[in-house]
């Protein structure tokens, strides 16, 4: 009897603890305080995309606008840790850092504040850090890039059909040349340019692409120079994974000097700087993730360590097509491709559509455990030959780093 | 009729009593705050008092914020202290940025390559020595050229900065972690090997101790030693120095070695004591800001403490008002600019008197 009653008592205790903990975990929207560390401010398209996403999420969930504290122009150095500490000390329950390089500092502060939630947006160390309160999130940007590649491919097909291309636009094997301005030779960029290339290739089979790196996320001059170098090599369409308007401006100028060139932007609409040549821009809709993360805080549920969604969740998009520049029928084709990405019938990295050193890849280990830059575990290619990018059970940040045939990295 | 006196007549003062000089500076600071208040209210309609309070909050609003202000001010002060002997010798060392970066790179190299093998005290000792060596190298090269071939040291030290920046970029690419991120990340994040240990429970206490020791040491060196005297003579006139039997070449090289050593050591403090990483933002323009610190303080290292704190206070305050009032960074840069303009301008009124011509009798405007 005594045993039974003590058992009951223990059970009650456990239950009440559980309920109590659950109730304590959820935070009413008006009490939810958010910290946001930005690498730039409202002058940078990348930060605007995050700020807009967060503000849309707050509005949708009824979190008052004054509950967010922004830290602008925080570099990828110890000032990022300073900013996180400061937000933590000032009562923020969830703190986002928006740039990859903030991550190790976010992690440092997360280790000291285990009761608060930290999200290193676009980061990749949450799982390996072993910290329960550190999260990563990344949209399927590669899907947007694939769709923007389809737009470019439609344009290319039109240019070929109208015989608007010149000899310099073809390589020795008769492939049309594309150009890509990349920031760093990092998996995120490789994954992106490969997706763009495959998007073009899905429309026009005989294409090759040159990639030039600027070694900066934001450098108007270097991006413009890289685009100029690519165009003088004969590249017809220039896309980019860098945050400025440098490349589209250069393409517009080259077009005005009498050449046939077009471009695809990133993060912001390039119509203002390149009204004749910008076809569209690949983009992310971060509000999907911010809504999910804030809703989880309000409900008191655990936020996924790695979150990654794409068209299926509405987290990806391209900017409205430039009707002055795109080929006829592009809108219909885009709608068809977007629908196929949304329902999963189309996979961007289908290994049957590309080769690495002449072979269709069959195996790729995504996760590097010991820091030697070689994958140690996490098979990303399934038996049907589909490379699954940004699988949440592996890692939300892109890991596709295969250098496929047809693409040449120049610098 | 034959009075052709100009409208404004400027004359050098014989010297102002120290307390009057400080009153002028105080008046300049107050005037600067008033002009800033007009600017803030005129442009944003915010209450300037609240904005100033926010700036104070940003720099000293909590224990952590105060320590961050101290941490950044000590590094700026350290670089300023390093520049003092060179400037006193009228050797325009604008190469502190590069000397700091080279010191930082040397420290980072020690922490990265020996981080597993050696204990923290050993790492700090070797890292400190390496940073001094790197700083000396970067300071002495332009000094030798100046001493032997009388090259222009301003251009030379400036160019050395760009070399140092490129070397830093190269090393960041070499040491980047994870690969492709273009960032070294936090060095020895798990083990904290080679980081300054906390003293009295304060993470940045060791930075303060090192830099204060350098500040006092440099003050004594410049004011009371034979070397210090030689530096000021060379600074006044090289010919006088030569006549007095001072080897100008030796003084130039020796002094720049010292200047580079302290700047290199600033890089050590910045890497091992503050950021625990290396990038071009390890110096981040502080090598240039420190020139203002050294000049405004007239090479008096104790006054430099005040100036360094003022500049860092303005910077932290700027971040806070950007965050709190959604004021763009440019607004706070204007505020900083106005304050510096007034403070630097006030030095003019301390050095010179201004006479206005008037009918019949001269009126002297005492600043």
A292 within a domain of the structure (yes/no): no
Say if the Cβ atoms of A73 and B322 lie within 8 Å: yes
Torsion of CA B187, B192, B194, B198, to 10 degrees: 130
A224 within a domain of the structure (yes/no): yes
Residues of A in contact with B108 (CB under 8 A): none
Q: Could you tell me if A71 and A213 lie in one domain? A: no
Say if the Cβ atoms of B322 and A72 lie within 8 Å: yes
A178-204 mean pLDDT: 94
Q: Could you tell me if A125 and A163 lie in one domain? A: no
Say if the Cβ atoms of A82 and B68 lie within 8 Å: yes
Say if the Cβ atoms of B62 and A71 lie within 8 Å: no
Number of domains in chain A: 2
B145 within a domain of the structure (yes/no): yes
Q: How many CB atoms lie within 10 A of CB B338?
A: 18
The CA distance from A265 to A242, in Å, is 9
The CA distance from A64 to A61, in Å, is 9
A60-87 mean pLDDT: 90
Buried b (16+ CB within 10 A) or exposed e, A47-86: bbbbbebbbbbbeeeebeeebbbbbbbbbbbbbbbbbbbb
The CA distance from B240 to B340, in Å, is 35
Q: Are strands A377-379 and A365-367 parallel, antiparallel or unpaired?
A: antiparallel
A371 within a domain of the structure (yes/no): yes
Quick check: B286 contacting A, CB < 8 Å?
no
Backbone angles phi and psi of A219, in degrees to 5? -155, 95
Quick check: A258 contacting B, CB < 8 Å?
no
Mean pLDDT check: name the lowest of A39-43, A112-116, A240-244, B156-160: A39-43
Say if the Cβ atoms of A76 and B279 lie within 8 Å: yes
Final residue in a domain of this structure, among A75, A104, A137: A137
Pick A134 or B10 by higher pLDDT: A134
The CA distance from B276 to B274, in Å, is 6
Q: What is the pTM of this model?
A: 0.78
Check: complex ipTM more than 0.85: no
- pLDDT-derived band of residue B4, with 50, 70 and 90 as boundaries? low
Buried b (16+ CB within 10 A) or exposed e, A307-318: bbbbbebebbbb
- Do the Cβ atoms of A324 and A154 come closer than 8 Å? no
Q: Could you tell me if A131 and A151 lie in one domain? A: no
B351 within a domain of the structure (yes/no): no
- Residue A242 predicted with pLDDT over 90: no
Q: Could you tell me if A166 and A254 lie in one domain? A: yes
Q: Please count the helices (runs of H) and the strands (runs of E) in chain B.
A: 13, 3
* The pLDDT value given to residue B105: 96
B105 within a domain of the structure (yes/no): yes
A295 within a domain of the structure (yes/no): no
**Residue B187 per-residue DSSP state:** T
- pLDDT-derived band of residue A95, with 50, 70 and 90 as boundaries? very high
CATH number, domain at A67?
3.40.50.2300
A49 within a domain of the structure (yes/no): yes
- Residue A123 predicted with pLDDT over 60: yes
- pLDDT-derived band of residue A289, with 50, 70 and 90 as boundaries? very high
Query: What residue in B sits closest to A213 (Cα-Cα)?
Result: B180
Final residue in a domain of this structure, among A114, A137, A160: A137
- Residue A32 predicted with pLDDT over 90: yes
* The pLDDT value given to residue A3: 55
A7 within a domain of the structure (yes/no): no
Query: What residue in B sits closest to A108 (Cα-Cα)?
Result: B189
* The pLDDT value given to residue B239: 86
Shortest Cα distance from B299 to chain A (angstroms)? 29
The CA distance from A148 to A239, in Å, is 9
Quick check: B183 contacting A, CB < 8 Å?
yes
Say if the Cβ atoms of B180 and A42 lie within 8 Å: no
Say if the Cβ atoms of A215 and B182 lie within 8 Å: yes
A166-187 mean pLDDT: 92
Say if the Cβ atoms of B189 and A107 lie within 8 Å: yes
Domain that holds residue B108: 73-312
- Note the pLDDT tens digit of each residue in A219-238: 889 999 999 999 999 999 99
B332 within a domain of the structure (yes/no): no
Looking at the partner chain, which of A70, A186, A187 has a beta carbon nearest the beta carbon of B323?
A: A70
Residues of B in contact with A73 (CB under 8 A): 319, 322, 329
Say if the Cβ atoms of B279 and A108 lie within 8 Å: no
Q: Please write down the HEC assignment for all residues of B308-345.
A: HHHHHHHHHHHHHHHHHHCCCHHHHHHHHHHHHHHHHH
- pLDDT-derived band of residue A12, with 50, 70 and 90 as boundaries? very low
Say if the Cβ atoms of A108 and B189 lie within 8 Å: yes
Domain that holds residue A109: 24-137
* The pLDDT value given to residue A14: 47
The CA distance from B259 to B99, in Å, is 9
Quick check: B181 contacting A, CB < 8 Å?
yes
- Note the pLDDT tens digit of each residue in B50-61: 888 888 988 998
- Residue B364 predicted with pLDDT over 70: no
**What percentage of chain A reaches a pLDDT higher than 90?**
70
- Residue A6 predicted with pLDDT over 80: no
Query: What residue in A sits closest to B322 (Cα-Cα)?
Result: A72
- pLDDT-derived band of residue B86, with 50, 70 and 90 as boundaries? very high
> How many inter-chain contacts (A to B, CB under 8 Å) are there?
70
* The pLDDT value given to residue A371: 60
Residues of A in contact with B327 (CB under 8 A): none
Number of domains in chain B: 1
Quick check: A368 contacting B, CB < 8 Å?
yes
* The pLDDT value given to residue A281: 94
- Note the pLDDT tens digit of each residue in A139-169: 999 999 999 999 999 999 999 999 999 999 9
- Do the Cβ atoms of B22 and B329 come closer than 8 Å? no
B53 within a domain of the structure (yes/no): no
- Note the pLDDT tens digit of each residue in B302-319: 999 998 998 898 888 877
A389 within a domain of the structure (yes/no): yes
Shortest Cα distance from A104 to chain B (angstroms)? 6
- Note the pLDDT tens digit of each residue in A203-217: 999 999 999 999 888
**With left for phi above 0 and alpha for psi between -120 and 50, is residue B355 left, alpha or beta?**
beta
- Residue A185 predicted with pLDDT over 70: yes
Quick check: A373 contacting B, CB < 8 Å?
yes
Q: Could you tell me if A365 and A387 lie in one domain? A: yes
Quick check: A252 contacting B, CB < 8 Å?
no
Pick B264 or B329 by higher pLDDT: B264
B305 within a domain of the structure (yes/no): yes
* The pLDDT value given to residue B7: 79
**Residue A304 per-residue DSSP state:** P
Final residue in a domain of this structure, among A137, A167, A184: A137
B23 within a domain of the structure (yes/no): no
Quick check: B185 contacting A, CB < 8 Å?
yes
* The pLDDT value given to residue A20: 40
Q: Could you tell me if A125 and A159 lie in one domain? A: no
Residues of A in contact with B182 (CB under 8 A): 101, 184, 186, 215
Quick check: A108 contacting B, CB < 8 Å?
yes
Query: What residue in A sits closest to B321 (Cα-Cα)?
Result: A71
B86-97 mean pLDDT: 92
* The pLDDT value given to residue A179: 96
Say if the Cβ atoms of A41 and B322 lie within 8 Å: yes
Residues of B in contact with A371 (CB under 8 A): 177-178
Residues of A in contact with B64 (CB under 8 A): 85-86, 89
**Helix pair angle (B329-351, B286-296), 10° resolution:** 30
Mean pLDDT check: name the lowest of A342-351, B92-101, B283-292: B283-292
Shortest Cα distance from A37 to chain B (angstroms)? 10
Q: Could you tell me if A133 and A161 lie in one domain? A: no
A303 within a domain of the structure (yes/no): no
Q: Could you tell me if A149 and A113 lie in one domain? A: no
Residues of B in contact with A76 (CB under 8 A): 183, 279, 281
- pLDDT-derived band of residue A128, with 50, 70 and 90 as boundaries? confident
Average pLDDT of chain A, as a whole number: 89
- pLDDT-derived band of residue B17, with 50, 70 and 90 as boundaries? confident
The CA distance from B57 to B49, in Å, is 12
B6 within a domain of the structure (yes/no): no
């Amino acid at each position: 009897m005594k045993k039974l009653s003590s058992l009951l008592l223990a059970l009650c205790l456990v239950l009440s603890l559980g309920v109590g903990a659950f109730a304590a975990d959820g935070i009413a929207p008006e009490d939810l305080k958010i910290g946001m560390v930005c690498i730039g401010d409202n002058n940078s398209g990348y930060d605007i995309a995050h700020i807009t996403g967060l503000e849309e999420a707050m509005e949708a969930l009824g979190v008052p606008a004054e509950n967010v504290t922004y830290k602008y122009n925080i570099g990828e150095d110890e000032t990022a840790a300073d900013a996180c500490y400061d937000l933590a000390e000032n009562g923020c329950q969830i703190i986002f850092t928006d740039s990859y390089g903030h991550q190790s500092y976010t992690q440092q502060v997360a280790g000291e504040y285990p009761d608060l939630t930290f999200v290193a947006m676009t980061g990749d160390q949450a799982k390996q850090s072993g910290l329960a309160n550190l999260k990563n999130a990344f949209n399927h940007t590669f899907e947007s890039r694939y769709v923007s590649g389809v737009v470019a491919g439609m344009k290319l097909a039109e240019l070929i059909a109208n015989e608007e291309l010149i000899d310099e636009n073809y390589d020795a094997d008769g492939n049309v040349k594309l150009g890509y301005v990349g920031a760093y030779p990092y998996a995120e960029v490789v994954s992106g340019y490969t997706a763009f290339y495959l998007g073009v290739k899905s429309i026009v089979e005989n294409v090759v692409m040159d990639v030039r790196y600027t070694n900066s996320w934001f450098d108007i001059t270097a991006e413009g120079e890289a685009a100029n170098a690519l165009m003088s090599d004969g590249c017809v369409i220039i896309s980019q994974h860098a945050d400025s308007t440098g490349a589209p401006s250069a393409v517009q100028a080259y077009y005005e000097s009498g050449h046939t060139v077009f471009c695809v932007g990133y993060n912001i609409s390039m119509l203002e700087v390149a009204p004749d040549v910008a076809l569209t821009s690949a983009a992310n809709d971060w509000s999907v993730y911010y809504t999910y993360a804030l809703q989880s805080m309000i409900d008191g549920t655990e936020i996924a360590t790695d979150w990654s969604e794409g068209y299926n969740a509405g987290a990806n998009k391209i900017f409205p097509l430039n009707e002055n520049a795109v080929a006829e029928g592009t809108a219909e084709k885009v709608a068809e491709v977007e629908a196929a990405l949304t329902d999963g019938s189309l996979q961007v990295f289908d290994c049957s559509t590309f080769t690495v050193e002449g072979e269709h890849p069959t195996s790729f280990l995504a996760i590097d455990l010991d820091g030697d830059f070689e994958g140690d575990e996490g098979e990303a290619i399934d038996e049907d030959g589909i490379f699954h990018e940004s699988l949440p059970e592996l890692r939300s940040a892109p890991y596709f780093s295969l250098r496929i045939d047809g693409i040449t990295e120049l610098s | 009729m034959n009075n052709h006196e100009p409208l404004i007549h400027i004359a050098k003062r014989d010297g102002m009593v120290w307390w009057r000089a400080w009153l002028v500076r105080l008046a300049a600071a107050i005037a600067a705050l008033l002009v800033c208040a007009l600017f803030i209210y005129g442009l944003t309609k915010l209450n300037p008092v609240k904005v100033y309070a926010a700036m104070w909050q940003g720099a000293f609003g909590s224990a952590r914020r105060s320590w961050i202000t101290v941490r950044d001010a000590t590094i700026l002060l350290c670089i300023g202290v390093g520049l003092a002997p060179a400037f006193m010798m009228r050797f325009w060392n604008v190469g502190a940025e590069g000397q700091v970066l080279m010191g930082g790179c040397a420290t980072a190299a020690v922490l990265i390559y020996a981080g597993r093998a050696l204990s923290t005290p050993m790492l700090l000792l070797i890292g400190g020595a390496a940073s001094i060596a790197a700083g000396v190298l970067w300071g002495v090269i332009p000094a030798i050229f100046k001493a032997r071939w009388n090259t222009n040291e301003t251009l030379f030290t400036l160019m050395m900065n760009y070399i140092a920046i490129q070397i830093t970029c190269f090393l960041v690419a070499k040491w980047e972690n994870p690969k492709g991120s273009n960032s070294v990340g936090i060095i020895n994040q798990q083990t904290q090997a080679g980081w300054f240990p906390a003293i009295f429970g304060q993470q940045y206490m060791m930075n303060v101790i090192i830099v204060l020791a350098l500040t006092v040491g440099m003050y004594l060196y410049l004011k009371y030693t034979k070397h210090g005297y030689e530096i000021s003579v060379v600074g006044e006139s090289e010919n006088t120095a030569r006549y007095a039997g001072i080897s100008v070449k030796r003084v130039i090289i020796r002094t720049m070695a010292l200047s580079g050593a302290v700047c290199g050591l600033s890089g050590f403090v910045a890497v091992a004591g503050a950021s625990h990483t290396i990038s071009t933002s390890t110096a981040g323009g502080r090598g240039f800001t420190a020139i203002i610190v050294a000049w405004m303080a007239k090479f008096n290292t104790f006054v430099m403490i005040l100036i360094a704190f003022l500049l860092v206070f303005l910077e932290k305050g700027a971040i806070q008002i950007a965050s709190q009032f959604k004021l763009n960074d440019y607004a706070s840069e204007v505020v900083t600019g106005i304050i510096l303009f007034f403070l630097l301008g006030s030095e003019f009124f301390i050095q010179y008197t201004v006479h206005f011509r008037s009918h019949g009798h001269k009126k002297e405007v005492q600043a």
